[in-house]
Structures are given as C-alpha cells and as structure tokens.
Structure 1
Amino acid sequence: MSRIGAGIDLIISGSEQLYDLSRCSLLTISSTGFLVVWLSHLWLADVALSLLLPFTALWPDRADDWASVIAESVWLGLQKLFIDVNGAKVIVDGDPLPAGESAIVVSNHVEWTDVYSIQELAIRSGMLSRCRWFAKSQLRWVPGLGWGLWAMGMPLVSREWTHDKAEMDRVFYGAIRKHWPIWLIAYSEATRYTLEKHVEGAAWAKAHGKIMPKHLLFPRTKGFIACVQQLRQAPHVKAVYDITIAYAHGKDFQKPPAFWQTL
C-alpha cells in the first residue's frame, strides 16, 4: 500500500420528514410495503447468485462482475428510498476520492443507518458494487439475507474474526489472487456507540494511559492490522479511507433516525 490515510467526515442531516414520529402509522404501512418489495428483490438476487455459482470455477472474473452488479441493485433500492423519498442529506467533507479506487474502509459505528452514508460515498466513487462489509457470522442463518451476503462475497465473521482463517482466506482470495476491485469495509470500534460503552471505554483508556475520543469509542486495531498485512499482497489496493460518521438534526447531535424511519 502506497497511499494511506484519506480522511472523510460524513454528516447525515435529517429532514423533518425523516425524524417525524407522528408519521408512525404511515411509516409502518409504507415500511412494511417497501420491505416486502425489497425482500422479494433480495430473494430474486439470491436465486440469481445461486445460478452463478456453477460458473465461478470456469469464469471466476466474469462471475464476480455479475455478482457485483446483482449486489449493487439490492443496495441501490435501499439508498434511493433513504435519500430520494425520505429526504436525508449526506454531507461529505474531506479528501477527494479517486473514482474506482480499491481501498480498506474503516468507520465509526453509531447505528444501522451508517450503511447509508458509506454507500453514498461508494456511489460517488463508483464502487457501490464492490463494497464488501464485515458482518456478524450469525447473519448467515437469517433466511434469505444470510445466503445472499455469503454469495455476494461478504466476510461473515465472529467477534474474534481474526481467528476465522477459512472465511478470511475466502474474502482475500479475489483481491489478492485475481486483483478484483474492492472496498473492504469494517467498523473499527467493533460495536455500536452508546453512552454506556463510552464511559466504560474512557475508564479503560485512563487505566492504560490512552486518550479517549470525545464522540467515538476506542478503536480495536488487531483486525485492521490483519487486513492491511493481507492486502499488501494486492498491488491495486493502495489506500485506507478513515471515515467519521455524525448525525445532525436541529440541535440534536449523534441522534440517528430509527431503522423504521429510514424506510
């Protein structure tokens, strides 16, 4: 890796429509309807990805390209609803990103809605189809979703994911051996931010002589180091993107919308 350290701040500014709890009944109806449509799309994507599997051995490059196109169609559906329908605005501040550049992407983690901000950045960089997220291994057992994530090439790992050698070898194979484009995305804190976790982290940092960030949790570095060491073997992966996500709504800071409010 020869270019490390692109820093990006992502601020999600919510419209009144996005945060308005008085829309709960309408939210329930519209959200349920959208979920039915999106889950149907996800199911069709799973079928398409399953049909691709026999071709991965014969034409691995072409199969990965097709799988990436299928994955992009799934994520674009969610993104358009969040931005276009619910009126959310993602403000990007930081280093400009080269289009189509492969990278390791690390970010803080506030809420499920963090996905939208990172995906918005990926869209602007032309890399949405190449996003590969570290996800909890338990998700592999969620009907429909688990199989789709695995078939799309998402790394499904335990909390001690550096021990998941077979899964990590599967993920790194395409980038290292085949030079496939990739955004390998990980939440560096390994958990969602809460005030309680911040208090616990501050006590730990003080006991170990560390400086605790004001609005972030203390990062866990072992997994990040393992990724960098592995992807040094991939000559096209030359960058690390350091992303900080914040939420702004009126005077409220770091108060993200609930999951149902984004649908």
Structure 2
Amino acid sequence: CKRKWEEDRDTVIEGLKRLSDYPEYMWFLLYCEGTRFTETKHRVSMEVAVSKGLPPLKYHLLPRTKGFTTAVQCLRGTVAAVYDVTLNFRGNKNPSLLGILYGKKYEADMCVR
C-alpha cells in the first residue's frame, strides 16, 4: 500500500474479496487510528474533529474510517461479529515487537465492545 486511498483502493478491495471465501476461521484486525498516539498527532486529530463538528476526544485519535467501512462492505455476510477493542498500556509505555520478543512485560487495560 502506498497510503494514498486513490491508489490503494483496488488493492484493498481485491484483498478483502479474497478473504470473503477464506476456507478457515480467521480474525481480521483493523487499527482504525492507524498510528501511535502522540501529543502532536492528537492535536492535529482534534483540529480535524472540530472542523467536522465532532466531539473532542481526550485519550484517542479520531478514527480513520475508510478502511473500516470498506472492510464492512466487502465482508458483509461473511463475518459473525465485529468487535470494538481499545487497548491502553499502563505507565505510558509504548510496546514494541522487539521488546515483546525479548520478554519485556507490559501491563494494559482492554475495553471490548
């Protein structure tokens, strides 16, 4: 993906269509915020929220919804459920895959809807 929707749309839709008849059970994870939380990204995100008349979020970035709505449209009728999961790492930690592989422990709170 080139992170430009106009260029990536066909690739994303084709990939999702291939998943619609995948022969095994699967979980499809989509990170709607699309990035890690920083104060700068939060400020920019809240400027966008205000410009669109959306309520400000204190601890989250404004979700990026094109990928989610495209996934729902392409996978409609093939998935049993959609879960909204929020994960908050305690102590303002930013886990990394390398840290996890080296056995570093992280504590987190998870909200599942």
Contact 1:158 1:164 in 2 (8 A): no
Distance 2:72 2:85 in 1: 16
Following TM superposition, by how much is the alpha carbon of 1:240 offset from its aligned partner in structure 2, in angstroms? 0.7
Of 31, 37, 47, which residue of structure 2 is paired with 1:187? 31
* Cα distance change on mapping 1:177 and 1:258 into 2, 3 Å: closer
What secondary structure is seen at the aligned counterpart in 2 of 1:185? coil
Q: Which residue of 1 aligns with 2:57?
A: 213
Deviation string 1:62-114 (CA, Å, 9 cap, x unpaired) is: xxxxxxxxxxxxxxxxxxxxxxxxxxxxxxxxxxxxxxxxxxxxxxxxxxxxx
Number of aligned residue pairs: 100
* Cα distance change on mapping 1:187 and 1:257 into 2, 3 Å: closer
Following TM superposition, by how much is the alpha carbon of 1:170 offset from its aligned partner in structure 2, in angstroms? 3.5
Distance 2:45 2:68 in 1: 19
Q: Which residue of 2 aligns with 1:256?
A: 94
Q: In the TM superposition, what are the counterparts of 1:40-79 in structure 2 within 5 Å?
A: none
Q: In proportion to residue count, which structure has more strand?
A: 1
Distance 1:158 1:180 in 2: 29
1:224 matched to 2:68? The reply is: yes
Following TM superposition, by how much is the alpha carbon of 1:158 offset from its aligned partner in structure 2, in angstroms? 3.0
Deviation string 1:26-80 (CA, Å, 9 cap, x unpaired) is: xxxxxxxxxxxxxxxxxxxxxxxxxxxxxxxxxxxxxxxxxxxxxxxxxxxxxxx
TM-score, with normalisation over the residues of structure 2?
0.71
Contact 1:161 1:223 in 2 (8 A): no
Q: Which residue of 1 aligns with 2:44?
A: 200
Which contiguous aligned blocks of 4+ residues in structure 1 show a shift greater than 6 angstroms?
Answer: none
Q: In proportion to residue count, which structure has more helix?
A: 1
Following TM superposition, by how much is the alpha carbon of 1:171 offset from its aligned partner in structure 2, in angstroms? 4.2
TM-score, with normalisation over the residues of structure 1?
0.34
What secondary structure is seen at the aligned counterpart in 2 of 1:209? coil
Which runs of 5 or more residues in structure 1 are unaligned? Answer: 1-156
Letter matched to residue 15 of structure 2: R
Larger radius of gyration: 1
1:239 matched to 2:81? The reply is: yes
Distance 2:11 2:47 in 1: 35
Letter matched to residue 206 of structure 1: V
Letter matched to residue 187 of structure 1: Y
* Cα distance change on mapping 1:187 and 1:178 into 2, 3 Å: closer
Q: Which residue of 2 aligns with 1:159?
A: 3
